Copies of this chain bind each other. A is one copy, B any other.
């Protein structure tokens, strides 16, 4: 048991090839847009076509991995053990999400686009991007309910869908996702007496 993971038979994968592919793919897409060709990516990474397709089944899956690994996509999960109004917590969270998204908004739009004609990719995107963020917002909203900040009879999952939906709607229509919009969204979601 000297190797980190159980060593399979045969020639091992070249980890540097994986790193180079992710790095060069993300760099080229940021520089030239998603239209950059696979040929250009493998040339920049110095590997063959098959080496890419041994690791990822589509360009979109390569870029999704690249973005999650090389861009700091992960936003800090709100700490609900701390005191203070949950409305402020959610505003801060959504502002951070928008902030991170703004840097690679084009790529995120392309991911949602690709998911529409590739069910496998839709599932991956859902598991890695959509559901985690949805669960975080639902948790904050439930806590807000417990604290009496929003009415008991409302459905946190529905509110989360409206917040994330408005986020996607503006993203896909190429409209700005700024701090004011995040605040307005949360304000409206928390509006009214508990």
- Chain A interface residues (CB < 8 Å from chain B): 34-35, 109-110, 112-117, 122, 126, 130, 151, 154-155, 158-159, 161-170, 172-174, 184-185, 188, 191-193
Whether A165 lies near B155 (C-beta < 8 A) is: no
Whether B154 lies near A188 (C-beta < 8 A) is: yes
Q: Return chain B residues, CB-CB under 8 Å to A126.
A: 173
Given the known inter-chain contacts A162-B162, A165-B165, A173-B130, please indicate yes or no for A155 contacting B188, CB distance below 8 A.
Answer: yes
Q: Return chain B residues, CB-CB under 8 Å to A161.
A: 166, 169-170
Given the known inter-chain contacts A162-B163, A164-B169, A188-B162, please indicate yes or no for A116 contacting B122, CB distance below 8 A.
Answer: no
Q: Return chain B residues, CB-CB under 8 Å to A114.
A: 113
Q: Could you write out 5 A-B pairs with CB less than 8 Å apart?
A: A34-B117, A110-B116, A158-B184, A164-B169, A168-B169
Q: Return chain B residues, CB-CB under 8 Å to A115.
A: 172
Instruction: State the Cβ distance, A173 to closest chain B Cβ, in Å.
Output: 7
The 10 closest A-B pairs by CB, nearest first: A192-B192, A165-B165, A165-B169, A165-B166, A113-B116, A162-B162, A113-B113, A109-B116, A161-B166, A162-B166
Q: Return chain B residues, CB-CB under 8 Å to A191.
A: 151, 154, 192
Q: Return chain B residues, CB-CB under 8 Å to A154.
A: 188, 191
Instruction: State the Cβ distance, A157 to closest chain B Cβ, in Å.
Output: 10
A91 to B126, CA, bound (A): 29
A185 to B166, CA, bound (A): 13
Nearest neighbor of A163 in chain B, beta-carbon distance: B162
